[in-house]
Amino acid sequence: MMGWLPSGIASAAIPLAVFTLGVHAVAAQDVAHLRRLTLTEVWAVDGHTRLERLSDVSGVAETPLGTVWIAGFTEILAVDPSDPSGTRDFMVAKGKGDGPGELLGADRVAITPDGNVAVHDLGRDAIEVYSAAGQPLQRVQLPFSVQWTKGFAVLSSGDLVLSGGVPWIEAGIHRFSSAGEHLGSWADGARAEEWMARVVGTGGSTHALQDGSLMYSSGAPHSIVRYEFPMTGGGEPVGRTVSEMPELLEAPGDAVLVRGVDDEGVKYTSFNVWYPQSHAVFALDGGKVLNVIRRRGGDGDLETVWQLFEPSHETSDAGTHALVGEEIVSVPYRLWFLCGNGDILASRADDLGVQTVVRLRLAVK
């Protein structure tokens, strides 16, 4: 690990779809001991109708008022799940601008400890804070840009955490005060020779816990760590490994960059962002941890690997939790938010790229 650098509204809708996750990935224990997982879509916002005002989905969260906020670049749509007609939906932000609450490039959404909504504005390198009712409250300017963001969370202390690449910081997690002061960076950055590859490959998903700690799942290789912070002031967080299976996910290194020459002879650089990587991590009730990996399957199609961990009574070099379920679903969900009742807000796209936001319910059998 790099050194410290100072400086629920339940849906009553009929399930829309049920998926049984039954094709196993690389297992860390005998599959006979793994439990069955059932994933149910209990609510959805059709991207062909109610989301037509959003070009893409870059963040989703549920407010304490029960509304679902959906961010897409310069717009934020607040959806009332109890109103199928959509008449109570409203735009929190619409169009690029510099005024209060306006955005230049919305990236991810998180809920603050006091119930407000924080949106990472990647275009401005700032955090825009709104009330749950949609009123702009504060703009927190950050001192530098965190690029290719893979995680955004607000700690119980009110501190802001972004996970991603910074060209001049070899670390994957960056902590800021509620006023925007950089408090420190830690966790390994991606290993690559070229700085651009390091920025693209660095970071992973995050989840802030009510006890003040932070769950972190590095993109690749596979490692889930829980970080605990000092009670007062700054200082280096203490990391405790939840699970570590580095053989499951191979870090792409410089291969994340794809260089070539187009038909007109012009050189270009693009990015292979679909390498197998941990995409979301959530701390569930009872000390359980859910980790989800996005990757391309053997047929080339995107898929998600769902891993469920439970606290283990046996000490192990692999971590404090044991794998109790590891399976695959063919829907390449993007997971965004863990609701108060344990449901998960996610999005998926059809063959035309049209986005649909769904509420998922996970059952363990």
Mean pLDDT by 10 residues, the chain (365 residues): 37 42 41 79 85 80 96 91 89 90 93 97 96 96 96 96 96 96 94 93 96 94 92 79 89 91 90 89 95 88 92 76 88 95 94 89 89
Half-sphere exposure of 251 toward its Cβ, with a 13 Å CA cutoff?
Answer: 24
Can you give the CATH number for the domain in which 33 is found? 2.120.10.30
Compute the distance between CA of residue 182 and CA of residue 175 in angstroms, rounded to an integer: 6
As given in the structure block, the two tokens for residue 79 are: 């959806």
| Residue 197 located in a structural domain | yes
pLDDT for res 317: 66
**Structural domains of the chain, count:** 1
Confidence at residue 55, expressed as pLDDT on a 0 to 100 scale = 66
pLDDT at 14: 35
Establish whether the linkage from the previous residue to 100 is cis, with ω within 30° of 0: no
Domain range spanning residue 303? 17-245+255-364
DSSP 96: B
Cα dihedral across residues 89, 94, 98, 103: positive or negative: positive
- CA nearest to 336, candidates 355, 354, 359, 352: 359
Q: Other CB atoms closer than 10 Å to residue 297's CB: what's the count?
A: 15
Q: Which class for 209: exposed (0-12), middle (13-18), buried (19 or more C-beta within 10 A)?
A: middle
Determine phi and psi for 286, rounding to 5 degrees: 75, 20
Residue 2 maps to a domain = no
- In this prediction, residue 315 carries a pLDDT of 58
Q: For residue 234, what pLDDT is reported?
A: 64
Structure confidence at residue 28 (pLDDT): 40
Contact 126, 141 (CB under 8 A): yes
Q: DSSP state, 88?
A: T
In a domain, 12, yes or no: no
CA-based nearest residue to 217, from 319, 360, 69: 319
Whether residue 171 is contained in a domain is answered as yes
In DSSP terms, 106 is beta-bridged to: 73, 121
pLDDT the model gives residue 7: 37
Tokens representing 321 are: 């939790």
Q: Which residues pair with 157 in a beta bridge?
A: none
pLDDT (0 to 100) of residue 22: 38
Tokens of 293: 């990996």
Nearest CA among 173, 188, 202, 205 for reference residue 307 = 205
E-strand spans in 204-285?
Answer: 204-208, 214-218, 223-228, 238-244, 257-261, 267-271, 277-283
Residue 5 lies inside a defined structural domain of this protein: no
Q: Specify the amino acid at residue 269.
A: T
Q: Is residue 114 part of a domain?
A: yes
pLDDT at position 32: 53
- For residue 47, being part of any structural domain is answered with yes
Cα dihedral sign for 359, 213, 105, 274? negative
Please give the Cα distance from 118 to 129 (Å, whole number): 4
Query: In 158-259, where does DSSP find H-type helix?
Result: 195-201
Please, which residues have CB within 8 angstroms of residue 45's CB and are 6 or more apart in sequence?
51, 68, 70, 79, 356, 357, 358
pTM of the model: 0.89
Say if 11 falls within a structural domain.
no
Q: Could you tell me the CA-to-CA distances from 63 to 57, 134, 283 in Å, in that order?
A: 17, 10, 19
Cis preceding linkage at 246, omega within 30: no
